[in-house]
């Protein structure tokens, strides 16, 4: 009898252990300032480092296009990562801030690439090596570079979810109209057309069930703004809907989305058919501004769009009776281009 009981106990222990997702990083540090941005062109001047360093973020998120080297051979990207990670400002920032990374098209593969990029297995390995990914990280063990991280203690617990919007993304649909020489994207409504892919969706659902006082979901491409013909979740309307529905289904409070890619910055908010207002805070670019493109008119935008070189910050005031956060966009010389405050109780 005792033997059977013990056997049962061990089986239970082993199955519980195996079914547990690989543990995400836990860090007791309370995050008060988070910095983030995207689109760093290695051959352009990089004046943006100065204000980034002086803003001293506790955590800094790289949202993709961390280098620009489109190639069908991922190996060729190595050198360009080295140009970034050997820079003295990068080394300096790494001393100040815990840094987390995801990719966009130009570091993942080639312009606008997704699941069809043939050298993606190699590209993942090169990316993780370049940013010295911890050897225990689940990112070495599964396809795609999505992962989650936790900071702070109960009451001030920040969850950071880094999505991979490239590795599994179905092909873009395009029509004959061209915008700046590139065919414009149209919604892909094929059954099964996806941004995240099945495994990542399942994982995201499980992550949203975990406890957190604020959740930052990082997506390289924009979620909310649909009013432009470039890359966006809106190119995959079923997956975009699924994103909001999953937040509602999991009753996941206090979700904020960060995005890059656009070569302009803005704060957008979605209030229709969402459990609470979902903010999508975009910062792009560090140093590759498309100043000749006028930002589109977007009814979801709060305030103005910023086309100058910039990075974004989120200051979290955990101590207040009603904790609040400040969204800011900082440009060259430390100039504050944009600021907007919301209370956390508005997003639950």
Footprint of Fe ion on this chain (CB under 5 A)? 39, 65
What is the DSSP secondary-structure string of 142-164? SSS--EEEEES-TTS-EEEEE--
Least distance (Å) between residue 289 CB and Fe ion: 11
Q: How far is the CB of 216 from Fe ion (least distance, A)?
A: 20
Give the residue with the Cβ less far from Fe ion, 45 or 192: 45
For Fe ion, which is the closer residue by CB, 65 or 112? Answer: 65
Indicate the helix (H) or strand (E) that contains 93.
helix 88-96
* Beta carbon of residue 324, minimum distance to Fe ion (angstroms, whole number): 31
Nearest distance in Å: CB 52, Fe ion: 17
Least Å distance, CB 145 to Fe ion, is 17
* Helix, strand, coil percentages for the chain (3-state, nearest 5): 30, 25, 45
Residue 263 CB, nearest approach to Fe ion (Å):
6
Q: Which is nearer to Fe ion, 65 or 270 (CB)?
A: 65
Bond preceding residue 285 cis, omega within 30 of 0: yes
Which residue lies nearer to Fe ion by CB, 65 or 213? 65
Contact 144, 150 (CB under 8 A): no
Q: Which is nearer to Fe ion, 65 or 147 (CB)?
A: 65
On whether the CB atoms of residues 159 and 215 are closer than 8 A, the answer is: yes
Q: Rounded to the nearest whole angstrom, what is the least distance from the CB of residue 118 to Fe ion in the complex?
A: 21
**Nearest distance from C-beta of residue 286 to Fe ion, angstroms:** 9
| Type and span of the H or E element at 98 | strand 98-101
Judge whether 166 and 104 are in contact, CB under 8 Å.
Answer: yes
Q: Which helix (H) or strand (E) holds 217?
A: strand 214-218
Residue 304's alpha-carbon distances to 282, 289, 300, 339, in angstroms, are 12, 16, 11, 10
Instruction: Closer to Fe ion by CB, 107 or 207: give it.
Output: 107
Following CA atoms 162, 235, 290, 92 in sequence, which dihedral angle do they give, to the nearest 10 degrees?
Answer: 0
Nearer to Fe ion, 170 or 220 (CB): 220
Tokens of 323: 């904790």
Instruction: Give 201 or 290: the residue with its C-beta nearer to Fe ion.
Output: 290
- Strand partners for 98: 59
Residue closer to Fe ion, measured from CB, 65 or 280: 65
3-state secondary structure at position 115? coil
Q: How far is the CB of 173 from Fe ion (least distance, A)?
A: 21
- Nearest alpha carbon to residue 265 among 317, 215, 324, 225: 225
Q: Are strands 33-37 and 301-306 parallel, antiparallel or unpaired?
A: unpaired
């Amino acid at each position: 009898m005792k033997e059977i009981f013990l056997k049962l106990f061990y089986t239970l222990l082993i199955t519980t252990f195996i079914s547990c997702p690989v543990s995400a990083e836990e860090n007791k540090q309370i995050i008060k300032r988070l910095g983030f941005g995207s689109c760093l062109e290695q051959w352009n001047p990089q004046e943006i480092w100065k204000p980034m360093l002086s803003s001293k973020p506790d955590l800094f998120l790289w949202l993709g296009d961390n280098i620009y080297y489109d190639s069908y051979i991922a190996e060729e990207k190595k050198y360009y990562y080295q140009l970034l990670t050997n820079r003295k400002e990068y080394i300096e920032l790494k001393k100040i801030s815990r840094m987390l990374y995801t990719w966009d098209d130009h570091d993942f593969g080639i312009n606008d690439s997704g699941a069809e990029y043939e050298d993606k297995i190699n590209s993942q390995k090169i990316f993780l090596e370049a940013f010295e990914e911890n050897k225990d990280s689940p990112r070495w063990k599964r396809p795609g570079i999505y992962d989650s991280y936790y900071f702070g203690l109960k009451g001030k617990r920040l969850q950071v979810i880094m999505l991979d919007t490239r590795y599994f993304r179905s092909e873009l649909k395009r029509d004959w109209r061209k915008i700046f020489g590139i065919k414009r994207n149209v919604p892909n409504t094929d059954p099964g057309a996806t941004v995240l892919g099945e495994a990542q969706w399942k994982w995201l659902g499980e992550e949203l069930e975990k406890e957190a006082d604020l959740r930052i979901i990082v997506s390289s491409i924009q979620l909310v703004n649909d009013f432009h013909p470039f890359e966006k979740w809106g190119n995959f309307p079923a997956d975009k809907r699924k994103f909001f529905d999953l937040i509602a289904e999991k009753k996941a409070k206090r979700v904020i989305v960060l995005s890059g890619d656009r070569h302009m910055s803005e704060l957008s908010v979605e209030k229709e058919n969402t459990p609470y207002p979902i903010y999508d805070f975009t910062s792009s670019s560090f140093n590759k501004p498309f100043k000749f493109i006028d930002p589109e008119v977007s009814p979801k935008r709060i305030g103005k769009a910023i086309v100058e070189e910039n990075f974004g910050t989120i200051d979290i005031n955990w101590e207040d009776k009603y904790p609040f956060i400040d969204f800011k966009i900082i440009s060259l010389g430390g100039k504050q281009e944009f600021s907007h405050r919301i209370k956390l109780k508005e997003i639950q």
